[in-house]
Amino acid sequence: MQNILDLKRNDLFGKDKKPLIISGPCSAESEAQVIETARQLAVSNVKIFRAGIWKPRTRPDTFEGLGSAALPWIRRVKEETGMLTAIEVANVWHLKEALKYEVDIIWIGARTTANPFAVQELADGLRGLDIPVFIKNPINPEIELWIGAFERLNKAGIKKLAAIHRGFSYYGHSPYRNMPQWEIPIELKRRIPELPIITDPSHICGSRDLLFSISQTAMDLDFDGLFIESHYDPDSALSDKDQQITPDELRSLLAGLVHRKSEVDNTRQLEGLNEYRRQIDHWDSELLRVLKNRMSVSEEIGRYKKKENITILQTSRWSEILEDRLAKAKQLGMSDQFIIQIFKQIHQESISFQNKVMN
Backbone phi and psi for residue 249, each to the nearest 5 degrees, phi listed first: -65, -35
Q: Do residues 199 and 165 lie in contact, with contact meaning Cβ atoms separated by under 8 Å?
A: yes
23-37, 279-293, 301-315: range with lowest mean pLDDT: 301-315
Assign residue 178 a region (left: φ > 0; alpha: ψ between -120 and 50; beta: otherwise): beta
Q: Taking 90 as the threshold, does the pLDDT of residue 358 lie above it?
A: no
Three-state SS string across 71-140, please?
Answer: HHHHHHHHHHHCCEEEEECCCHHHHHHHHHCCCCEEEECHHHHCCHHHHHHHHHHHCCCCCCEEEECCCC
Report pLDDT for 265: 76
**Three-class DSSP category at 245:** strand
The residues spanned by each domain of the chain are: 15-256, 267-358
Residue (of 56, 60, 45, 47) closest to 89 by Cα position = 56
Report pLDDT for 345: 93
pLDDT tens column, 12-37: 987 777 899 999 999 999 999 999 99
The strand pairing partners of 229, in sequence order, are 24
CATH assignment of 15-256?
3.20.20.70
97 pLDDT tier (thresholds 50, 70, 90): very high
Report pLDDT for 272: 87
1 pLDDT tier (thresholds 50, 70, 90): low
**Three-class DSSP category at 226:** strand
202 pLDDT tier (thresholds 50, 70, 90): very high
Q: Taking 60 as the threshold, does the pLDDT of residue 249 lie above it?
A: yes
pLDDT tens column, 149-182: 999 999 999 999 999 999 999 877 888 999 999 9
Q: How many other CB atoms are there within 10 angstroms of residue 326's CB atom?
A: 15
The larger pLDDT score, comparing residue 60 to residue 281, is at 281
Report pLDDT for 261: 80
Question: Given 3.40.50.2000, 3.40.50.920, 3.30.1330.40, 1.20.59.10, which CATH number is that of 267-358?
Answer: 1.20.59.10
pLDDT tens column, 150-159: 999 999 999 9
Q: Taking 80 as the threshold, does the pLDDT of residue 119 lie above it?
A: yes
Mean pLDDT of the 78-89 span: 97
pLDDT tens column, 127-151: 999 999 999 999 999 999 999 999 9
2 pLDDT tier (thresholds 50, 70, 90): low
Tell whether omega for the bond before 19 is within 30 degrees of 0, i.e. cis.
Answer: yes
pLDDT tens column, 219-246: 999 999 999 999 999 999 998 899 999 9
Report pLDDT for 337: 86
